[in-house]
Structure 1
Amino acid sequence: MSDSFIRMPTLSEIIGLSKNAIYDRMNPKSPRYDASFPKPVKLGSHSIAFLESEVKAWMDERISERQAA
């Protein structure tokens, strides 16, 4: 299976959250922390990306939760 990296601007556009909201979901000290949020992949000393398949799985989980409610 081939997987692609998604950089922050693209991730923000795909899931409809700002960069700051995404970082909040990744920060365990934030009240908006989401342990199920896709973990970033470090590409360099100051560069991260996300796996497309993990982002899609996270989005599918949100949809499933909505449908179950």
Structure 2
Amino acid sequence: MRFIRLKEVMHVTGLGRSSIYNYMAEGRFPKTVSLGGRAVAWVESDIELWMTEKVAARNV
């Protein structure tokens, strides 16, 4: 399991910071994991699964 920070999530998904947090607020994006203090990250496999689901939805 690997944690990835916001900058990498933005790079991998092509989404901006505000879009990521807006989708999270709507329950449409994986939630963060607290790393302590104000530091958060995402589980890389959660992001990969989210992207796979987006591709699958496109093909329906």
- TM over 0.5, shorter chain: yes
- Give percent identity, aligned residues only: 35
TM-score (norm 1): 0.81
Question: Where does residue 67 of structure 1 map in the other structure?
Answer: 59
| Unaligned stretches of 5+ residues in structure 2 | none
Q: How many pairs align?
A: 60
> Is the alpha carbon distance of 1:26 and 1:36 closer, same or farther for their aligned partners in structure 2, counting shifts above 3 Å?
closer
SS in 1 for 2:59: helix
Question: Where does residue 5 of structure 2 map in the other structure?
Answer: 7
Question: Where does residue 38 of structure 2 map in the other structure?
Answer: 46
Q: Whose RCO is larger (CA < 8 A, sep 6+)?
A: 2
Could you say which structure has the larger radius of gyration? 1
CA RMSD of aligned residues (A): 0.9
TM-score (norm 2): 0.92
Shift of 1:36: 3.9
| Unaligned stretches of 5+ residues in structure 1 | 28-32
The residue correspondences of 1:20-59 to structure 2 (distance < 5 A) are: 20-27=18-25, 33=26, 35-59=27-51
Structure with the bigger percentage of helix: 2
